[in-house]
């Protein structure tokens, strides 16, 4: 449940807990399968008869997440946009048009086409030509009135000229001339002037094209950032990871990742799409519901006023899978007070069809073999859920959540195999009882949801972006100085196989909703590639780390900093250097050498061999210079350059010294900050 939750789910939960007597609790506790737990709880009168009609009524009243589109408001906002245009405030008009588009009902396609055309004018004035062209395309597809079309064709032609796409501009000017014939409300003189201008432009353009030998137009500009690339080939068994990573297993730690060869700091080890990725409700009107990118020119869902998309592609993906079902239940879910984890648990179902689950239901008993694919629900089903360590109270609580989500799933039309077409009429929803026809489905899907909730507790990741203050004109902004903001959640099934260390070897960042995992240390072949579940040894004392990990993830951490009781960053001493034993035989020992040591040959206490520290001291001087260069590049926002310097610094450190020591973690921390700067960011 969300921390400050109020609302339907909380009340439902409290009401059940108050109604259950010891006998019922005992009966529940003795049930051995999730299927039985769901069926039993669903059959109890306190669940079936739970009255939700009053709470549902509250949703109808709208507020932050209205249940329906609103023509009147949409038209008002359009008018506000037009007024802003008259004042020459194009930025403000764009905001009004955006809001109007989101609220405009789908059936008012002509009205919508007009707001899109108006928005294209604003975008054109703001010199966002590619966006202008997209909106013109959209407004024409929606049936923009024929007598006004000359305007958007002419705008299209001018945009194409600005983008130097002259061949296409010729067609657009020709369309303008044809469309002027239909401009019945335009006075004769204006029409004549526009026609003459367009003809003149056509002449100039055609001549220019002939003179230049009819060159091809430049490709339309792609506004999607380049996709990150794995370092090395894909792992054959775990294709989201690189072949440098192997997934190993042992009885105490379960599955975990280790290096299959020496890994260098800076290598990209994993790139993975989310499974069940959801955006937090607070970002539903600023970020694309599908790819999580910040979205300044939103495309609305045709049916609901609560989510936006960055492109037709994202809209199409969402509508054909999860959003088709979630469209009308989102306000209910968001206002119910249940957590983002509940939403992910539901999304893990809605993103696939009922048929998909029916086909794999039998397979779920066995762990799947073959390549471990991100989209394959069977893999997620077998992630760690610690089912047999759960308390009765925990299972009861999650079963209640599952039942609440089941009810939403039923309302969404999921069990009938087709999304509901209209928003939920209040009279339809009186109690929590499930429709008799859905009882069998409820038992099967309730089990899956319950399993999802258990799995998510240990395997979900937060999705974040870096938010930077909007730079004033001409001023530079530094992404590493931005704030990391939690915008959503998801399971990344391959990353979920990585265990924790309080001294992690990786950093994760996001490109849209896709996660990228990058090494921030050099990791030797055979060593664990560990991620971090929260507490880091440099900042959190051991007892706190141990108790946090035990409480949240149910294991005793035995990482090196925990086992050897490494000091926090602030307590690391600079009085001696931790030299690696440099003997001929491989020796893993560390030789602490006082800072003011006058000897240059020091003896290893373990293998008794001598290490010449002069060579090491010389290379440490080089690391200082390299590190300073990296810091300087970072301060100028040249992250690629800074990353290279930090990687070189770490390489030199690793030939000489063994962590923990301050300068090593300074460098790791800066490398991490630079890597984070490569991910999602937005201006606030
Ligand atoms: C996200 S999963 C990691 C993958 C998991 N080991 C598996 O087999 O699928 C988290 C769970 O892994 C185990 N785990 C993670 N880090 C661990 C560590 N450092 N030592 C022991 N167990 C760990 C705990 O059981 C934890 O709840």
Residues contacting 425, CB < 8 A, separation 6+: none
Does the beta carbon of 554 lie inside 6 Å of ligand 1?
yes
- Concatenated DSSP letters for 76-97? HHHHHHHHHHHTT-HHHHHHHH
SS3 label, residue 66: coil
Is the shortest distance between the CB of 257 and ligand 1 below 6 Å? no
Confirm whether 498 is domain-assigned. Answer: no
Torsion on CA atoms 550, 555, 558, 559, rounded to nearest 10: -80
Give nearest CA residue, ligand 1 atom 27. Answer: 553
Query: Residue 582's pLDDT is what?
Result: 85
Residue ID of nearest Cα to ligand 1 atom 4: 497
Helical H runs in 163-303?
Answer: 166-180, 188-211
CB 270 within 8 A of CB 484: no
Pair 366, 458 in one domain: yes
Q: Which of 589, 661, 590 is nearest to 627 (CA)?
A: 661
For residue 445, the CA-to-ligand 1 centroid distance in Å is 26
Please check whether residue 493 is in contact with residue 272, taking contact to mean a CB–CB distance below 8 angstroms: yes
The answer to whether the beta carbons of residues 432 and 47 sit under 8 Å apart is yes
Residue nearest to atom 22 of ligand 1 (CA): 253
Residue of 249, 368, 381, 384 best suited for mutating to test ligand 1, as the one with most atoms within 8 Å of CB: 384
User: What is the distance in A from the centroid of ligand 1 to the CA of 269?
Assistant: 19
Whole-number Å distance, alpha carbon 456 to ligand 1 midpoint, is 13
Q: Are residues 75 and 59 in the same domain?
A: no
Residues 351 and 432 in one domain: yes
Q: Looking at residue 188, which CATH number applies to its domain? A: 1.25.40.10
CB distance 484 to 466 below 8 Å: yes
* Cα 279 from Cα 300, distance rounded (Å): 15
- Look at residue 508 in the predicted model and tell me its pLDDT: 97
Question: Can you tell me whether residue 466 is helix, strand or coil?
Answer: strand
Strand (E) positions, 446-589? Answer: 460-468, 483-491, 506-511, 514-519, 576-580
Q: Do the domain assignments include residue 400?
A: yes
241, 506 in Cβ contact below 8 A? Answer: no
Residue 255 Cβ inside 6 Å of ligand 1? The answer reads: yes
Residues 10 and 60 in one domain: yes
443 within ligand 1 shell (Cβ under 6 A): no
| Residues 6 and 91 occupy one common structural domain | no
CB 405 within 8 A of CB 346: yes
- Go through the chain and tell me how many residues it has: 684
Angle between helices 129-141 and 149-162 (to 10 degrees): 150
Distance CA 498, CA 262 (A): 17
Same domain, 86 and 55: no
In this structure, is residue 324 part of a structural domain?
yes
Query: Rounded distance, CA 254 to CA 383, Å?
Result: 10
Residue 237 counted as domain residue: no
Pinpoint the alpha helices (H) of 365-501.
377-381, 392-412, 439-459
Is the ipTM, as predicted for this complex, more than 0.95? Answer: yes
Instruction: Point out the ligand 1 atom lying closest to the alpha carbon of residue 500.
Output: 16
Report the separation in Å between the CA atom of 253 and the middle of ligand 1, taken as the mean of its atom positions: 6
Phi/psi region, residue 573 (left: phi>0; alpha: psi -120 to 50; beta: rest), is beta
Q: Is the CB of 549 under 6 A from ligand 1?
A: no
34 in any annotated domain: yes
460 and 316 fall within a common domain: yes
**Cα→Cα distances 403→288, 410, 445, Å:** 29, 10, 10
Among candidates 580, 662, 588, which has minimal Cα distance to 613? 580
CA of 557 to the centre of ligand 1 (A): 10
Domain count, the chain: 3
Residue 186 lies in a domain: yes
Comparing CA positions, the residue from 648, 652, 646, 653 lying closest to residue 672 is 646
Whether the Cβ atoms of residue 294 and residue 535 lie closer than 8 Å to each other:
no
CA of 676 to the centre of ligand 1 (A): 25
Tokens 């609901």, residue located: 304
Q: What is the per-residue pLDDT for 68?
A: 87
495 Cβ closer than 6 Å to some ligand 1 atom: no
- Nearest Cα to Cα of residue 325 among 431, 234, 408, 438: 408
CA of 136 to the centre of ligand 1 (A): 52
Instruction: Give the residue, by CA position, lying nearest to ligand 1 atom 10.
Output: 458
Domain boundary among 415, 446, 472: 472
Question: Does the C-beta of 555 come closer than 6 Å to ligand 1?
Answer: yes
For the Cβ of 138 lying below 6 angstroms from any atom of ligand 1, the answer is no
For residue 497 and ligand 1, the question of a CB distance below 6 A is answered with: yes
d(CA 300, CA 383): 35
Q: Rounded distance, CA 424 to CA 407, Å?
A: 13
Q: How far apart are the first and last CA of the chain?
A: 28
- Is the same domain home to 327 and 418? yes
Is residue 96 one of the residues assigned to a domain?
yes
Contact predicate 330/350, CB 8 Å: no
Preceding peptide of 660 cis, ω within 30°: yes
Ligand 1 neighbour 459 (Cβ under 6 A): yes
Instruction: Establish whether residue 248 lines the binding site of ligand 1, counting it when its CB lies within 6 angstroms of any ligand atom.
Output: no
CA of 500 to the centre of ligand 1 (A): 7
At how many degrees (to 10) do helices 149-162 and 188-211 cross?
30
Write out the residue range of the structural domain in which residue 285 sits.
1-64+275-472
Q: What does the pLDDT read at residue 472?
A: 83
pLDDT at 425: 64
- Residue 322 within a domain: yes
- Other beta carbons within 10 Å of 531: 22
Angstrom CA distances, 502 to 80, 536, 618, 639, 662, stand at 54, 5, 31, 26, 16
Domain C-terminal end among 472, 499, 519: 472
Question: Whole-angstrom Cα distance, residue 27 to residue 43?
Answer: 13
> Which residue, judged by its Cα, is nearest atom 25 of ligand 1?
555
Compute, in angstroms, the gap from residue 254 CA to the centroid of ligand 1.
6
56 plus 179 within the same structural domain: no
Q: How far is the CA of 252 from the centre of ligand 1 (A)?
A: 9
Instruction: Give the global pTM.
Output: 0.94
- With a 6 Å cutoff on the Cβ, whether 617 touches ligand 1 is no
In the structure encoding, which two tokens stand for residue 347, read together? 């999304």
My answer on whether 406 and 300 are in the same domain is: yes
C-alpha–C-alpha distance, residues 249 and 258, integer Å: 10
- pLDDT of 554: 98
d(CA 404, CA 442): 11
CA 349 to ligand 1 centroid distance, Å? 25
Output the pLDDT for position 270. Answer: 98
The answer on 454 and 315 residing in a single domain is yes
The answer to whether residues 36 and 76 belong to one domain is no
Among the candidates 437, 453, 472, a domain finishes at 472
Looking at the CA of residue 255, tell me the nearest atom of ligand 1.
8
Q: Which residues of the chain have pLDDT under 70?
A: 1-6, 60-62, 223-225, 422-428
């Amino acid at each position: 449940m969300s921390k400050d939750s109020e609302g339907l789910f909380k009340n439902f939960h409290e009401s059940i807990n108050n109604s259950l007597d010891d006998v019922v609790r005992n009966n529940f506790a003795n049930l051995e399968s999730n299927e039985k737990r769901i069926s039993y709880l669903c059959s109890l009168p306190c669940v079936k008869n739970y009255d939700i009609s009053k709470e549902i009524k509250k949703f109808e009243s709208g507020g932050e997440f209205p249940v329906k589109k609103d023509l009147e408001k949409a038209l008002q906002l359009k008018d506000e946009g037009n007024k802003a245009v008259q004042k020459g405030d194009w930025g403000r008009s764009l905001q009004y048009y955006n809001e109007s588009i989101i609220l405009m009902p789908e059936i008012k396609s002509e009205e919508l086409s007009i707001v899109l055309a108006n928005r294209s004018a604003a975008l054109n004035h703001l010199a966002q030509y590619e966006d202008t062209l997209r909106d013109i395309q959209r407004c024409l597809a929606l049936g923009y009135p024929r007598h006004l079309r000359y305007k958007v064709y002419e705008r299209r032609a001018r945009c194409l000229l600005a983008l130097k796409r002259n061949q296409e501009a010729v067609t657009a000017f020709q369309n303008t001339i044809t469309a002027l014939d239909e401009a019945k409300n335009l006075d004769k003189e204006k029409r004549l002037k526009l026609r003459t201008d367009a003809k003149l432009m056509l002449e100039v353009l055609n001549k220019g094209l002939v003179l230049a030998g009819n060159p091809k137009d430049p490709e339309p500009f792609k506004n999607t950032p380049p996709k990150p690339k794995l370092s090395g080939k894909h792992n054959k068994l775990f294709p989201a990871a690189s072949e440098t990573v192997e997934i190993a297993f042992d009885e105490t730690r379960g599955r975990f990742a280790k290096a299959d060869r020496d890994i260098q700091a800076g290598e990209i080890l994993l790139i993975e799409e989310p499974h069940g990725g959801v955006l937090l409700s607070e970002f539903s009107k600023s970020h694309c519901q599908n790819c999580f990118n910040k979205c300044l020119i939103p495309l609305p869902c045709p049916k609901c006023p609560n989510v936006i998309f960055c492109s037709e592609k994202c809209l199409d993906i969402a509508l054909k899978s999860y959003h088709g079902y979630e469209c009308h239940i989102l306000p209910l879910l968001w206002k119910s007070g249940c957590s983002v984890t509940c939403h992910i648990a539901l999304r893990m179902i809605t993103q696939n069809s009922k048929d998909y689950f029916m086909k794999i239901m039998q397979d779920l008993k066995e762990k799947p073999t073959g390549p471990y694919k991100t989209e394959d629900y069977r893999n997620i089903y077998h992630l760690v859920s610690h089912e047999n360590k759960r308390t009765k109270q925990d299972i009861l609580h999650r079963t209640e959540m599952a039942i609440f989500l089941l009810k939403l799933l039923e309302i969404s039309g999921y069990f009938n195999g087709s999304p509901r077409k209209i928003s939920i009429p209040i009279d339809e929803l009186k109690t929590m009882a499930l429709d008799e026809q859905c009882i069998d489905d409820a038992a099967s899907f309730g089990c899956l949801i319950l399993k999802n909730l258990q799995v998510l507790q240990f395997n979900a990741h937060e999705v974040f972006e870096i938010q930077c203050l909007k730079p004033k004109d001409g001023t530079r902004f530094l992404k590493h100085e931005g704030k990391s903001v939690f915008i959503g959640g998801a399971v990344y099934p391959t990353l979920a196989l990585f265990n924790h260390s309080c001294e992690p070897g990786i950093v994760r960042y996001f490109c849209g909703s896709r996660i990228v995992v990058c090494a921030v240390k050099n990791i030797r072949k055979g060593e664990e590639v560990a991620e971090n579940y929260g507490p880091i040894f440099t900042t959190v004392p051991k007892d706190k780390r141990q108790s946090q990990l035990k409480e949240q993830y149910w294991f005793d951490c035995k990482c090196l900093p925990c086992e050897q009781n490494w000091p926090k960053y602030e307590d690391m001493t600079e009085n001696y250097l931790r030299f690696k034993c440099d003997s001929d035989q491989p020796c893993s020992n560390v030789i602490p050498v006082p800072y003011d040591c006058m000897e240059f040959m020091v003896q290893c206490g373990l293998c008794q061999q001598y290490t010449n520290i002069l060579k090491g001291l010389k290379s440490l001087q080089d690391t200082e210079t390299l590190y300073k260069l990296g810091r300087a590049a970072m301060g100028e926002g040249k992250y690629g350059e800074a990353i290279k310097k930090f990687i070189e610094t770490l390489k030199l450190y690793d030939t000489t010294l063994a962590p923990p020591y301050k300068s090593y973690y300074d460098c790791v921390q800066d490398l991490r900050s630079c890597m984070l700067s490569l991910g999602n960011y937005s201006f606030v």
